[in-house]
Chains A and B, each alone.
Chain A
């Protein structure tokens, strides 16, 4: 049994030897963590310091269970790495390609982090996990983040992974439903975790929801193929590509093109982290690594696709060819004229204003103060990454 949760995902043996020597790791629950963190975490169990919580979380991870994907370092490093968690809103697929690249290529480690990418699923919301301090950063849906802030979460949005709203409506190529209004009288599948976004879109597109037969689906596109549903709300990089691969010809339109522009896959962090100098420094370092990972991914879409298929998402039985297609489609959402001008994840005043308008139409009272480019500005101080 490996004694370090890193081992499962790391490529190099010597690194571990070195790390063990330099950090004097101790054994807790089958994993090892740096001594300073482990003793501290015992004293302040459930303390809300991000670092402590993260160290504790690492301690609680059994190697076999791989509940988080730990940093895979590729080069030896003398400096101790700070363990942090990043809470994702879904399982590790192409959607998090840039993160996987940053992990595999050691960009996080370059910034002094031992990152655990904590996969999400249909039942998780990243906001409470970040608000509690367990994760330093979360990746989540914009309206959900805004709603959480409205409901008292002390969070801020520090960057947008997608410049363009990736949500789309998929119908059969044989009987395409080409506009929002054409959904009237039809059975439309919306998963519970997408419903906030859907409500906002309906308001933005001035749709009368009562005329649409909304069915809750659990990420289930089978029902579209089976004809039980007439249309399905999906993710531009997921369902259309899967359906096409299954021989089903989908007709797809983006929410963004029908009165619902929105940044998506936003990065959230605690306001208190942003306002503390040390916290801000950590976020800046993290976002620098993140931007490097995504910049690399944008240039070589197959890299993240291969990492998702063969390394981090192995259990998901992903198909490389589909993941590459998804990665290519994804680039259109990640890069834009704005990111070319200001760097990846940048939120221009116009994008923020559009997002606020879209969110407000969905009764989510997003305000400009929920967004800040402060971290990105500092990260790109020495030159933008795009």
Chain B
């Protein structure tokens, strides 16, 4: 433990607010550090001085004043509170001033000639108040019924008013506009036109196909002849159209690496196209047969050939294609050269 750390612990040590481990570490440091021992002594002196301060005693007048204030507040606060324990909460006020009458015992249970009080015991008619017969039966119910009837009348009035307002609002609502048939017809014709244009565009694309500059690798093909043939890989199901120069076709015919039977089958469907000003027209039936009349095609300019894919199939191929690795590093610092080809 360093002195700086021990100073952090000194105050807690004075108040016995340290763990055993911290205390042990501090004691070990204090045994060898005179400066920290001096600091501890100083802090001990400060603590003693603080604990030996004379407490302030409240004066008798202050005690009396506090007692008076408390008594005054007690009187004030208890003005609205009974000294007895609080009872259960009072029942909620009646809804809309209406108190439902209590259930009365059946008339057969009551002795004849006795008047019935709604919330009290049965009393003889001699002790009952000399009021009319209507009030005798239920003296507290009549005003409640009046209130209920008035509330019902008001509710009926409000309901009728709301219905009336609704009827007026419906009658004042402007008539619904007739559907614009001309607009619908225009939309329908536009839709048909769009379909026709799309079909035409598809046809044009499938027919003209390569309207860009033809390149074989870095070489522009301005004029000449290309041999277009389909390519189908039965193992992967990939089909696309490939274009070669005639001399490359001749070279491939003698290439032992190529399956000549497959290549011959491809050549059976081949067609020759002329390149003019770097552009060429490809046969529509070939494209439709092997690629499909897709709206979107992709053209790959490779070194010795041009591949024409449907974009969706090319994307699928790229997703599933294995990663090609071709790494070649020269020898360096005495290490042998590295060559990885896959």
Q: Do A and B bind each other?
A: no
Which A residues fall within an 8 A CB radius of B?
none
